Amino acid sequence: METKVNTGAIFKNDKKTKETHPDYRGKVNVNGKEMEIALWIKESSKGLKYFSAAFSEPYVPTEAPRIQVQQIDEDDLPF
């Protein structure tokens, strides 16, 4: 989904399994830069509910490092 500049979409986090996980998650575009947003529903000491927000760079999975296997000729073994 492509997000227009200075807009975004936020959805309820149906995968929340811990209290520390955000209640809502989404993607926003701020001045042309794609960002992820996480929101938690909080309550102030006076009982007012509010959203606490955190922005982060989009998650980009990294490819697992490849292991190079070196072929050994049996004639090269010392035993």
**What pLDDT, on the 0 to 100 scale, is given for residue 60?**
85
Integer angstrom CA distances of residue 15 from 41, 43, 55:
16, 22, 19
Q: Where are the domains of the chain?
A: 1-57
* Cα pseudo-dihedral 33, 34, 36, 39, rounded to 10: 60
Please give the single-letter amino acid code of residue 77: L
> Tens of pLDDT along 59-72?
888 887 777 776 66
Where does the pLDDT of residue 8 fall: very low under 50, low under 70, confident under 90, or very high at 90 and above?
A: very high
Mean pLDDT of the chain: 89
